[in-house]
Amino acid sequence: MAKLAVRTAIRDAIAEEMRADPNVFMIGEEVGEYEGAYKVSQGLLAEFGEKRIVDTPITEAGFTGLAIGAAMSGLKPIVEFMTWNFAFQAIDQIINSAAKTNYMSGGLVNVPIVFRGPNGSALQVGAQHSHDLSSIFSNIPGLKVVSPYDSTDAKGLLSSSIQDPNPVIFLENELLYNEVFEVPDIEYSIPIGAANIKRAGTDITITAFSRGVAAALSAAELLEKNNISAEVIDLRTLRPLDTKTIINSVKKTSRIVSVEEGWMSSGIGAEIISLVTLSAFDYLDAPPERISSLDVPLPYAKNLEDLCIPNKENIAKLCMTFFNNN
């Protein structure tokens, strides 16, 4: 096993897929000469040249539409957004062109394209650069939505996303780019739609994704000190959800807390609670709970930003309420 930062794992997945398939190319702002705003594309321009690592002007609507057209014509673009917040400039192209074309063409036209970049909170980048778009894209038929936590999953899921014949929304996190995890020394892929049990437990299930997994795992350690065994599920894919893994866990633990950095209204947690209530109601010993960011645009001030985002303490505190009321 090698140890790789998340940014390096993403870069390696892109390089491996580009070497394997000449139809794969990457396009976006500063992906070439500058090697990416977050240095994810280091060395790719030198290896693959400017025809496959394409720098663009600051025009998300333009280069997203160009890439979707290329995908419809048989190429496999990887579109990098400097932040997913900027993807709002290209929302029509993503939803109305990329997501719907296969259905509207009766399956005749595939759109094999990956949209990727940092999503959600970072470190004091303000409300307009901190929006978590997970639930927005998870609502759209025709899209697959992936949100990895560690280097192993980032690399394996990105490889699967590039190989997939459908459009994939690949949600990274800026604060995870420097985090280092073990990665297999071989080329591999991880199937889209499969969650991962990061920590087995018997008393309560905690679901999370992206940076929320770290908070959930830390909360599980706090709970262990109170003799509460928490099972932590890294969702990894938000559309399609791995419903089987979630339901099987709840049947074992009889309690569930959903963790997400997005807002609570119509969020990922709402979908999970609905799923659990419909499919595992008789196994529940208490109503499902969820924790999310506070219902305000994320503040710039560090102390307020920290108060808005779920952390290990408030996740553990919420989990404890299941047992304090007994």
Distance CA 289, CA 323 (A): 13
Coil, helix or strand at residue 29: coil
Distance CA 41, CA 146 (A): 19
Give the containing element (helix H, strand E) for 230: strand 230-234
Tallying the residues shown for the chain, one arrives at 326
Q: What share of the chain is helix, strand, coil (3-state, %, to 5)?
A: 40, 20, 40
> Hey, what are 73's tokens?
């014509």
Provide the CB-side half-sphere exposure for 306 (13 A, CA). 4
Beta partners for residue 79, in sequence order: 27, 115
- Catalytic (active-site) positions: 60, 129
Give the amino acid at 244: K
Look at residues 268, 230, 225 and name the one whose alpha carbon lies nearest to residue 252. Answer: 230
In degrees to the nearest 10, what's the CA dihedral of 235, 236, 240, 243?
A: -20
Provide the CB-side half-sphere exposure for 196 (13 A, CA). 21
Look at residues 149, 118, 139 and name the one whose alpha carbon lies nearest to residue 234. Answer: 149
Look at residues 216, 215, 236, 291 and name the one whose alpha carbon lies nearest to residue 260. Answer: 291
Look at residues 137, 103, 120, 115 and name the one whose alpha carbon lies nearest to residue 64. Answer: 115
Distance CA 254, CA 273 (A): 13
What is the β-pairing status of strands 180-183 and 2-5?
antiparallel
Distance CA 253, CA 55 (A): 50
